Structure 1
Amino acid sequence: MPRHFRAIAVQPKWHPHDFISAAAFRAWMRSQLDMARPYLAADRPNLVVLTELNGLPLVLRGGAWAIPLKKFERVATALFISRLARTLPILRREGVSPVRALQLADADRNTRLYLHTCRDLAREYGVYLCCGSAPTPRYQLVQGQPRRMAGTLTNQAVILDPRGALVGATDKVHLTPDEEQEGVDLTPGHLDEMRVFPTPVGDLGVAISLDAFRADVIGRLEKQGCTVLLQPDANGAPWTAKEGLPPDPTNIRDQPEAWLESSWTATTQGKSIRYAINPMVVGNLLDLTFDGQSAITGRAEDAPEQRSYALTTPRPGFLALTPWVETGTPEQLRRAGTQRAAHSGHPLENNYRTDTLWADLTLPDTTLTTPERNRHEEALEYILSRQGRPKPGLTAAVILAGLSTLAYLTWRSLRRR
C-alpha cells in the first residue's frame, strides 16, 4: 500500500541562554515542536526534522556567567578552566584537545538530557522525530551498562518513532573546518556505517549538512534504497556570503548557489531519493553567525513552481521554501546579510526569520528490511529506556566524597600553620 505522510521542517532561532540549564534546553526544544504543532496532520503519520548541532551549545549548561565574554573561544577557555577537575583528567587520559575534553567532561549527562528531551517530545506530539544532531560520544554496553568510548565525539543525528523508541543513528562523515581540530574538534563518522531506515514516513537516510553535498554519501544512501533524505543543517556564516569548502576550497561561490548542490540536486537529478527535508537554524550564537533558508525538495514534476534560494535563479523542485529576510539586488542582499551577522553593531543584527515548512508526500510501500542495530545503537536504546535523573544515592555519595575531600584538605592546611 502507498505510504502517505507529512514532512515538517522547523527553522528556529537559537540564543546562548537556551542552553544554560536543563530547563532552558527543554523549553527551547519544545518551542520547535510547538512551531510544528499547527501543521501536524491528523490523518497520516508526521515526520518532524530539526536542525544540525542543536545540542552543541549544551557545553554552556551551568555556564551563564561566561556568556558576557561574547566570543566562543573565550567562553570555552573560561569553562575549561572552571571545570578543570573534570576536563584535565580527560585531557591527560584520553589524549584529546582541550575543546574536546570540555565537551566530553559533561557528555554523558548532556547526551541523556538531549535524548530524553527528544524522546519525551516524540511521544507527546506523536511524531517521527529526526532530533537534528548533537556532539555525541560513541557508546557500547559493557556488563549491561552504556560506557563511553574514550576520545570519540561525533556529530550525530538520531531518529525516534512516535513511541520515543530509537529508529536509528547516523554520524556525520565529512566535517567542515569549523568542526575539525581547529574548531569544535569532532570525530568524523565512517561512510560504511551509514544505513537507510525503512519507516511509514519513508526509507530514511541522513546526510548531515556537508554530507548531503558529497557524492560518496548520496551514492551509498541511494544504493541502499533511500527515498527520503534528511539534511539537518547549521550554516555558520551569513547566508549571502561567499564560501569555498574542501575538497576544492578555491571554488568560491555564493552560499545559496552552493546549497543547490545538496538536497535539491539529490532529488531533482538523483536516483532513488524522491524527497529531501533540509531545516536550517538561524541566529547569532556568541560571535558565531548562523543563517539560511530551510527547504523541502522533490522531483521537478512534483514541484513545478519556479522558485529558489536568494541569489539564484528560480527553478522547479522546491515543494516548500522559507523566504530569506529580504529581497533586492545582490548588493542589497549581501549588505543585509552583513548587517545581521554577529557583532555587526547594526540595528538589524540578529534579525533573522524563523519558519515552519510542510509538505504532504506519497511513496510506494517499502521493500527494504530494517538494518541490524550496531553496538552504539544498543547503548542508545538503553539510555532511552531509562529515566533522565540520576539516582539520589549516587548524588549523595558524590556530594559526601567531595565534602570529605574538602575537609581533609582543610585539615592538612591548618596543620601546616
Structure 2
Amino acid sequence: MTVPTPQAPRHVRAVAVQPHWSARDFTTPDAFRRWMRAQLEMARPHLRPGGVNLVVLTELNGLPLVLRGGGWALRLRTFERVALALFLARLPRALPVLLRERVSPIRALQLADIDANTELYLRTCRELARESGVYLCCGSAPMPRYARQGTVLRRAPGVLTNQTVLLDPQGNLIGVTDKVHLTPDEEAGGVDLTPGDLNELRVFPTPAGDLGVAISLDAFRADVIGSLAAQGCTVLLQPDANGAPWTSQEGLPPDPARVRDQPVAWLESSWQVTAQRQIPYAVNPMVVGNLLDLTFDGQSAITGPAEQAPSLRSYVLTDPRPGFLALAPWVTEGTPDELRQAGLDRAAHSGHPLENEYREDTLHADLTLPPATRPAPPRTPHEDALDALLRGEARAPRPGTWRAALPALPLLALPLLALALLRRRP
C-alpha cells in the first residue's frame, strides 16, 4: 500500500495597497493607467522575490471612469452636477440606453460607455499583473454581464454590478465576483448598481490561496462569509471604498439616533471573520482621497490568527487587540474629539488647510496556508466572455446610435430627464 506524501504548506506574501485618488486620475486613459501603475509600484518593494505574491487593490477603482473624456466638467465640483453635465453632453449615446433598456439616467450614463471602460480597466490590470508577476485582485468596478457570441461580446441589457476580477501572474482570468449587498449610495438613489446573487459566490483555488471575495459591505454579512467559509476559503479579499470621514459616526438601524464610530463598526468585517476563525486570513485595502464632493477614508489592514500577530493594535477609536498582522496608521493621533475633528478637516469641501490630506500606504504580511485540495469551479459564460476579451479572441460591442430612439422621445421629455438625474444622488 502506497502512503500519500504529505503536501507542504503554501507560503504567500499578501500586499494591500492604500492609494490616494482624485477625479483627474480618470479623465483620460493615460491618466488612469498612470494611477493604476503607481499602485503596483507602491506594492513592488513589498513583494517577495521568487515567491508567490498576492496584491489586492481597492473597491470601485473603476467607477470614476465615467469621467473619462469629461475633464471639462470637473469645475462643477459635485458628482451630481458633473453627472448631469455628462449625461447631457453624451445624450446621443446615453439616451438610447435609457429608452431601450429602461434604466435610470445615472445607470444609462454609465452603460453608454461601459464597453470601452471595461476594456480599458481589464487590459490595464492584465498588463500590470503580467509586468509584476503577481496574483492580482483588481479591486472592483461597475461592469456589465457579458456572453460571448463568436468574436463579439453581447451585454445583458440593463445589468451593471460591482465586480471584482482576479488575475494570475500571466494576466489570465481566474474568476469574477459580484457584490451582493449594496450600500445606499450604490442603490437606486445613488449610482444605481445591480446587486449580485448570493448563490453565485465561489471560492477560487490558486497557489496564492483559496480566494474568496467579499466586497466592502459583503464582508460584514453572515450569509456571504458563511458561503465562502463553507466552500473552503482560506484568504478573504475585501476591497473597500469607505465613502465617509473615517472618524465620523454612523447611525445604527433601526434607531438612527444610536450612533457608533466607523472604526468600531469596521471590526465587524474582516477582523471579526479571522478572529472567529471562520476564514484564516483577510486582506482589506481601502482607498483614500476626496473625489469632487465625496470623501473616502479608512485604514487598510491584513488580519489573521491571533498568535501570528506581532503586537496588539487596532483602528483608531478602538482598543488594541490581537489579530492585526499589518495595519496602516491613520493620519494623526489624539483624543477621540481631536480625531473626529481631524476627519472633518480633511473631508471634501471642508475649506480647511488639511482638506484632502490623507495617508497613502502599502502593507504586507506573510500567510501560511494549507495545501490546495479543491478543484476550480466551472467558469460562467460571463467569465468565458471576459477571458476571450483579454486574450484578444473577442471584442466588446460597438456603441449604438440614437437615431432609432428619437421617434420615441418627445422633445418635452428632455427637461424631465434632466430633472430625474438631478434628483438622483450619485
TM-score w.r.t. structure 2 length? 0.90
Q: CA deviation at 1:367?
A: 1.2
Query: Residues 280 and 246 of structure 1: is their aligned pair in 2 closer, same or farther, counting only changes over 3 Å?
Result: farther
Asked if 1:365 is matched to 2:375, the reply is no
Aligned-pair CA distance for 1:388: 11
Query: Which residue in 2 is equivalent to 1:62?
Result: 69
The offset of 1:307, in angstroms, is 0.3
CA distance in 1, matches of 2:299, 2:247: 11
Indicate how the Cα distance of structure 1 residues 304 and 125 shifts in structure 2: closer, same or farther if over 3 A, else same. closer
- 1:199-210 → structure 2 map (5 Å cutoff): 199-210=206-217
Which residue is equivalent to 2:27?
Answer: 20
1:122 to 98, 118, 129: 129
Counterpart residue identity of residue 44, structure 2: R
Q: Given residue 39 of structure 1, which amino acid in structure 2 is its aligned partner?
A: H
Are residues 189 and 47 of structure 1, via their aligned partners in 2, closer, same or farther at CA, if it must alter by over 3 Å? same
Q: Deviations over 1:226-285 (max 9, x none)?
A: 0000000000000000123668866531100000000000001133x1110000000000
Aligned-partner Cα distance in 2 for 1:250–1:155: 30
Output the CA distance in 1 between the equivalents of 2:94 and 2:312: 52
Where does structure 2 lack aligned partners over 5 or more consecutive residues?
Answer: 1-7, 404-426
Aligned to 2:87: 80
2:268 counterpart SS class = helix
Q: Does 1:222 align with 2:242?
A: no
> Would the alpha carbon gap of residues 326 and 105 (structure 1) be closer, same or farther in structure 2, given more than 3 Å must change?
same
Does the CA-based 8 Å contact 1:307-1:313 persist in structure 2?
yes
Percent of aligned positions that are identical:
70
Task: Select 2:180's aligned residue among 173, 176, 182.
Answer: 173
Q: How does 1:15-414 map to 2 (within 5 A)?
A: 15-244=22-251, 252-271=259-278, 273-303=279-309, 305-386=311-392
Contact 1:308/1:318 (CA < 8 Å) preserved in 2? yes
Partner of 2:9: 2
Question: The residue matched to 2:154 in structure 1 has which SS?
Answer: strand
How far apart are the structure 1 equivalents of 2:281 and 2:383?
26
Q: Is the 8 A contact 2:116 2:396 kept in 1?
A: no
State the Cα distance separating 1:87 from its structure 2 match: 0.4
- Matched residue of 1:380: which SS? helix
- Residues 60-103 of structure 1 deviation map (CA, whole Å, 9 limit, x = unaligned): 00000000000000000000000000000000000000000000
Q: Distance in 2 between matches of 1:258 and 1:302?
A: 23
Query: Residues of 2 paired with 1:124 and 1:378: CA distance?
Result: 23
Matched letter for residue 8 of structure 1: V
Q: Compute the displacement of 1:303 (Å).
A: 1.0
Q: For the residues of structure 1 that align with 2:395 and 2:254, how far apart are their CA atoms?
A: 44
- Partner deviation per Cα, 1:35-74 (whole Å, 9 max, x = no partner): 0011111131100000000000000000000000000000
Contact in 1 for aligned 2:151/2:395 (Cα 8 Å) = no
**1:300 Cα deviation from its structure 2 partner:** 1.1
Number of aligned pairs?
396
Give structure 1 regions of 4+ aligned residues with deviation exceeding 4 angstroms.
Answer: 245-251, 387-391
CA–CA separation in structure 2 for the residues paired with 1:54 and 1:19? 9
Task: Output one character per residue of 1:192-233: Cα deviation in whole Å (capped at 9) or x when no partner.
Answer: 000000011110000000000000000000000000000000
How much has 1:308 moved relative to structure 2? 0.2
Alpha-carbon shift at residue 304 of structure 1 (Å): 5.2
The secondary structure found in structure 2 opposite 1:383 is helix
Identify if the C-alpha distance between structure 1 residues 384 and 248 changes in structure 2 by more than 3 Å, giving closer, same or farther: farther
Q: Structure 1: which amino acid aligns with 2:361?
A: D
Query: Shift of residue 287 of structure 1?
Result: 0.1
Q: What secondary structure is seen at the aligned counterpart in 2 of 1:88? A: helix
- Equivalence for 1:412: none
Is the 8 Å Cα contact of residues 116 and 388 (structure 1) preserved in structure 2?
A: no
Q: Which secondary structure does the structure 1 equivalent of 2:366 belong to? A: strand
User: Structure 1 residue 305: deviation in Å?
Assistant: 1.1
Contact 2:151 2:394 in 1 (8 A): no
1:115 is paired with a residue of what secondary structure? helix
CA spacing shift, 1:379–1:340, aligned 2, 3 Å: same
Tell me, what secondary structure is at the counterpart of 1:244?
A: strand
Query: How much has 1:320 moved relative to structure 2?
Result: 0.2
Does the CA contact (< 8 Å) of 1:275 and 1:299 recur in 2?
A: yes
TM-score with structure 1 length normalisation?
0.92
Output the aligned Cα RMSD: 2.0
How far is the alpha carbon of 1:302 from its aligned partner?
1.5
CA 1:103–1:352 in 2, change beyond 3 Å: closer, same or farther?
same
User: Is the 8 Å Cα contact of residues 275 and 297 (structure 1) preserved in structure 2?
Assistant: yes
Cα distance between partner residues in 2 of 1:337 and 1:31: 25
Using CA pairs below 8 Å that are at least 6 residues apart, which structure has the higher relative contact order?
2
